Structure 1
Amino acid sequence: MRVLVVSNLYPSGELGGYELGCFQVVEELRARGHEVLVMTSVLAEAIACDLGHVERRLTLRAFSVVEPRGASAHRSLEFDSSVSQYANTHAVLEAIERFGPDVVYLFNLVGLGGLAIIDALTVSGIPWTWHLMDRVPVQLVLGASVPIAALYGIETGKVFDAGSLISISRNLVEEIEAQPRIGTLPRVTIVPGWAKPSEFVLDREYRRGGVLRFVFAGTYGTHEGIDLIVQAAGRLRDAGQNFTIDFFGFGNYLQFEKAALALGLVGRLTFNGVIGQSELRAVFRNADVFLFPSLEREPFGFVPLEAASEGCVPIITGEAGVSERLVDGVHCVKISRDVDSLTEAMLAVADEKFDLRAFGQRARFVVD
């Protein structure tokens, strides 16, 4: 089968979860003998690593570090990002004519003028599938003014009816369908997030040397609950627990490091930048518990499964998408997203109220 993939970003290594998910799907399709062409935007650091199946011809109008000045400039950027960029639509149609795909496989379209691309695919009659790992349909329709919405038929609630949709969680579907401009999505298949099984046969030790080792990996920000983790760490220290927390991720961690210093947590909490996937897996194999107090609307979250695959037991927000894959008290510990609930779960683990070895083995089985 010939598959044309369209994604706003496409990594040579790792970016965010959506881009990495796209990358892994493409690699699996190619490994199974399918012919895949990826249309994406320019990513300077990745060009030298690209193979012939990746074409960086699309213009990305999103995620700029410089905010547009004035209402007019902001509207223009929003239109280009969500609604239409003629050059991008033309590039996709040209690729269809040249490559002759059996299906077009869409991923994150924010920044590409996604509505026009979907409209062009619908009018052309070519089958298309959209893999949803975030609330992208909402971002696209909210970027259209009332006249533009009428032009694309958004108000009918059927703008995405021509394609088939894959969602990473039921949680995400419900969030998207709550947008009045969208309503009930057609033909949605739930395909939960995944992680590669561990390459190691683990007979691991927990609480080595009497120290409980927590770990976090993701993006530094309050939306990931870093502030909650730091506060909970202070309470664990006050309770006399012997523990460490290692942080790894994208972004600036200085504000959280300062908060940890103010609480006297020097030596217990360490903040690190991004490390490679294999190095991160090694970290998980040596940690006891993975902390994931993300926002309730988190569409899924791949990293808790990656940690689980190495026997690192997840503590997760109970409403996050990944909670649909893991069972509380069996594979993980689920919490409400507040410092009290997080502290309670961390203390319960520290007081050995949970059998980490049993949890870790069962969690690995889910991933495998």
Structure 2
Amino acid sequence: MPTSSSDLRPKSLTVPADSRTYDIDFVSLAGVPAHLRTLGLHGPNVVIVTDENVAAHYRSPLVHAFEADGWKPHVVVVPPGESSKSLERLEMLYDTLLPIGLERSTPVCTLGGGVVGDVGGFAAATLLRGVPLVHLPTSLLAQVDSSIGGKTGINHAVGKNLIGSFYQPHGVLVDPETLLTLPAREWINGMAETIKHGLIADAALVAYLDEHLVDILGHHSLEATVPAIRQAMAVKARVVGHDEREAGKRAYLNFGHTFAHAIEQVAGYGTVAHGEAVAIGMRAALYLSWQRHGDALDRERLDTLLTRLPLPDVSHLDFDALWTAMRHDKKTKDGRIRFVLLKALADPYVADDCAKPAVERAWDFVQQSPA
């Protein structure tokens, strides 16, 4: 791994929240135990929730760092993938953690990607009616998106993320060098959400990705990736700071997600990765936006950026099945499916009047012009 430098350890970002302001700090994993103390957290017990893939790389170093700093770490390892966002897995966490002498001051650290953050965060939110939560995101998607904003939860057969809570962490500690052990597919996942942040709120980030996507995806260059991470994080922090519980503009972060959640459900959770589904969903949402706003939206340029992400073929998915899944999405209101659309780059809005034929035409476009 390259030696850390000031360029790879940007200054922290602050996330305002109704209950508490917290920081996103760039910290090496070795520095996590000491940093928890600066957040006002203390042991001796600390819980680390991680998955099997991440544990293979980072469980031992983090455990040794905690033990050297006087903590008593308790590690819970879950299987990787969406299957861990289940009531059964949540119950396993409760059964494992409650007997260790957990107290309301015992911090829970989620070490991993979005799945670990969601299920571990929901456990922290509900154990003893809430214990301190610290996210240690190791995936690109988790660093730029899911670790920020306080959403926790699990899936249900009816739909994705239908059981959960808003529960803000005490802090988010990011070590960019954990990205170097990610498989290529996880880089694609994360860049999809990074592009999304640019499309809804930051034209400069879109321009940056136009120029640097090859270095990021092709060479996994941290020098190229870290500025994009910081810009994407800043977008998420800014949006969440204005609307913690998704009563207004935070909904813009769901750009592409109405399609994406339906794709994930119909394909079978874990078949299409979340970021992949979001990228496909954004292509459909861009087309739906273009049907309404025409040349005010530079659709071809933005769609070209998305098609530079290697994405799975979903042309076999039945539109009527997707439409049914969309109707059960948690963003549906008064029986009306809601889509985030763009009037222009970085000018999003929520529409609840999209007719089924228009949505089907957008899906047909995605099917007929795969990435």
- What's the TM-score once normalised by structure 1's chain length? 0.32
Higher relative contact order (CA 8 A, sep 6+): 2
Between structure 1 and structure 2, the one with the greater Rg is: 1
Q: Which structure's residues are more often helix, by fraction?
A: 2
